[in-house]
Amino acid sequence: MNRGGWFRRSPRSKAAADVPDGLWIKCPRCEDIGFAKDVERNLNVCLKCNYHHKLRAKERLALMVDEGSFEEMDAEVKALDPLGFPDYGDKITRARTNTGLTDAILTGYARIAEQSLIIGVADFAFMGGSMGSVVGEKIARAMEKGVKDRLPVVLITANGGGARMQEGLLSLMQMAKTSAASARLGQAGVPYIVVLTDPTMAGVFASYASLGDVILAEPGALIGFAGRRVGNQDLGGKLPDDFQTSEFQWRSGQIDRIVPRKELKETLGTLLAFFAEEGVHAQQTS
């Protein structure tokens, strides 16, 4: 795998290669060219090397939740350009047009294996899935609804951009905001499950994405703290080949399980059922 490579490649050409609208699809890792239909049928996982292609938020939802159960919330929350950051306005407009989304995350009510939950799904195609005010706000609202409705919260990350620099400090503060909301979920005893997918970096990995009661990851995803172009420092001797991947983070104790895409829904169902069961003290307290 071209580790850390997504930032070096032109994100645009990469995204174009990912979209399986042609007859053929080329795997960015093993460069195998396969029938788009076959790859799609395999949940967009490379038949040859098991590379998990990036999924659009809606594709992800279609795979993960019970059919027709997703009910979007806060769909109209839109980004502003509070800093007047160079090209941000244009980038947002272009991302909206290209993705059909208002920002880099969809949140809403859904069911998995007939169990109700609140789900958030990030979309890398929208400015690298970076977290600005809108993403932070939608996550905080989703978590607060989780507390209010006592529904488990599942967040599926795909936030290569970390905190969105075009909103400056306001983006940085979304790390504190989402982590604060996560604290309330914890206090309320509402389960919080994170699924890390390719890529999850920086400000997102260093906030809500690391706070799940259970943290799962898809195989081979890029997951880490510092993007390669942000720091110019020597990252410390020879880096392992799988530096900043799911496997590396699992080995470092940061992830509970690496779950292949085809088993994800089932695993989430099992987890939700586990948490839904009344605990040992339920009868005494109620």
Residues that bind another protein (CB under 8 A): 74, 76-80, 82-83, 85-86, 132-134, 136-137, 140, 163, 165, 167-177, 179-184, 186-187, 202-203, 205-211, 224-227, 229-237, 239-240, 243-244, 248, 252-254
Alpha-carbon span 184 to 199, nearest angstrom: 27
Contacts for 115 with CB less than 8 Å, ≥ 6 apart: 152, 269, 272, 273, 276
How large is the angle between the packed helices 57-64 and 261-276, nearest 10 degrees?
60
CB closer to another protein, 15 vs 30: 15
Q: Least distance from C-beta 258 to another protein, angstroms?
A: 16
Q: What is the DSSP string of 202-245?
A: HHHHTTGGG--SEEEE-TT-BEESS-TTT--S--SSSPPTTTTB
DSSP structural state of residue 280: T
What is the Cα gyration radius of the chain?
19
Closest CA to 63 of 274, 259, 281: 259
Q: Least distance from C-beta 150 to another protein, angstroms?
A: 19
CB closer to another protein, 34 vs 224: 224
CB closer to another protein, 182 vs 267: 182
CB closer to another protein, 47 vs 226: 226
Q: Least distance from C-beta 229 to another protein, angstroms?
A: 5
Q: Least distance from C-beta 92 to another protein, angstroms?
A: 11
Joined tokens for residue 214 = 């259970």
Asked if residues 211 and 192 have their Cβ atoms less than 8 Å apart, the reply is: yes
CB closer to another protein, 36 vs 170: 170
Q: Least distance from C-beta 103 to another protein, angstroms?
A: 9
Alpha-carbon span 148 to 171, nearest angstrom: 25
Q: Least distance from C-beta 284 to another protein, angstroms?
A: 25
Alpha-carbon span 226 to 86, nearest angstrom: 23
CB closer to another protein, 112 vs 216: 216
